[in-house]
Amino acid sequence: MSADAIDPVFQLGERVKVRAMFSPGHIRTPWYVRGQVGTIERWCGVFGNPEELAYARPGTPRQPLYRVRFALRDLWDDYAGPAHDSIEIEIYQHWLEPVTAKEMS
């Protein structure tokens, strides 16, 4: 970890779970993906934490940002389209956690 940026810990293609946190304030993680499991599609770089920047704080340490892909059928039980339809969302690392073996299955 450099002085003001956190190192990325997740790999391309890794399965990750979005934390089911419901903290107040300016949050860039939409509700509909919280608690959901997806796959790291791309690493975007490190960026100031928007939850800090929104309140005129420095936004450090900067957070790794990923694009995470979810199957739309995983997000919506009654999704009417085909199984391959998907969504990709940018999520900061502090909102992601590893997937347990049970959740993998």
Assess 86 for contact with other proteins (CB under 8 A): yes
Report the nearest approach of other proteins to the CB of residue 25 (Å): 13
Give the pair of three-digit tokens for residue 69. 């892909």
Helix (H) or strand (E) holding 68: strand 63-71
- Are 71 and 88 contacting, i.e. CB atoms less than 8 angstroms apart? no
Tell whether residue 32 is a contact of other proteins (CB under 8 A): yes
Residue 85 sits in the site that holds other proteins (CB under 8 A): yes
Nearest-approach distance from CB 100 to other proteins, in angstroms: 25
Q: Does 30 bind other proteins (CB under 8 A)?
A: yes
Please report whether residue 8 would count as binding other proteins according to CB under 8 A.
no
Angle at 67 between CA 66 and CA 71, to 5 degrees: 140
For 48, how many CA atoms within 13 A lie in the half-sphere containing its CB?
A: 9
**Rounded (10°) CA dihedral 23, 27, 33, 35:** -20
The site for other proteins, by CB under 8 A, has a size of 27
Q: CB nearer to other proteins: give 77 or 105.
A: 77
Interface positions with other proteins (CB under 8 A): 28-30, 32, 42, 44-45, 47, 50, 65, 67, 72, 75-76, 79-82, 84-92
